[in-house]
Amino acid sequence: MNQELQIGSFGLSVLLSIVLRMIYGTVEIPGKYKPWIAVVAGIGLALIAMVTMGTPYDTKTVINYITQGFMTGATATGLYEMTKTKEPTA
C-alpha cells in the first residue's frame, strides 16, 4: 500500500478536506456529528481509492484501507477545526 492514498493524482487527505469544507459550509451540522461525518467520508474515499488503484480485494487489504480512511477522517476533523474562522469577541 502507498504511503498516502490517492484518487487519481489527488491525495485523499486533500480531497477529504475539500469535501468536508463544502459539506460544512452548505449544511448546518451540529458540532458533535462533524467528526463522525469526516470519519465516514474518509472510509468511503479510502474504499474508492482501493478500487481505483486496482488493489486486489482480500480481508487484510480492506481492513487496512478502512483503517487508513478512518485515520484520514480523524485528521481532517482536526485540520477543519484548526482552519475554521472564529467570530471575534467584543
Residue 86 lies in a domain: no
> Is residue 34, in this structure, part of any structural domain at all?
yes
Query: Has residue 2 got a pLDDT over 50?
Result: no
Quick: pLDDT tens for 58-72: 999 999 999 999 998
Does the pLDDT at position 80 exceed 90? Answer: no
In a domain? residue 23: yes
Q: How many domains does the chain have?
A: 1
**H or E segment at 7?**
strand 6-7
Mean pLDDT of 28-40: 89
Q: Where are the alpha helices (DSSP H) in the chain?
A: 12-26, 34-52, 59-83
- List, in order, residues 6 or more apart from 6 with CB less than 8 Å away: 12, 49, 53
Considering only residues 78 and 66, tell me which one the structure prediction assigns the higher pLDDT. Answer: 66
Measure Cα distances from 88 to 30, 85 in Å.
Answer: 21, 9
| Residue 15: inside a domain | yes
Judge whether 68 lies within some domain. Answer: yes
Q: What range does the domain containing 44 cover?
A: 6-80
Q: Residue 29 in contact with residue 23, Cβ under 8 Å? A: yes
pTM, 2 dp: 0.75
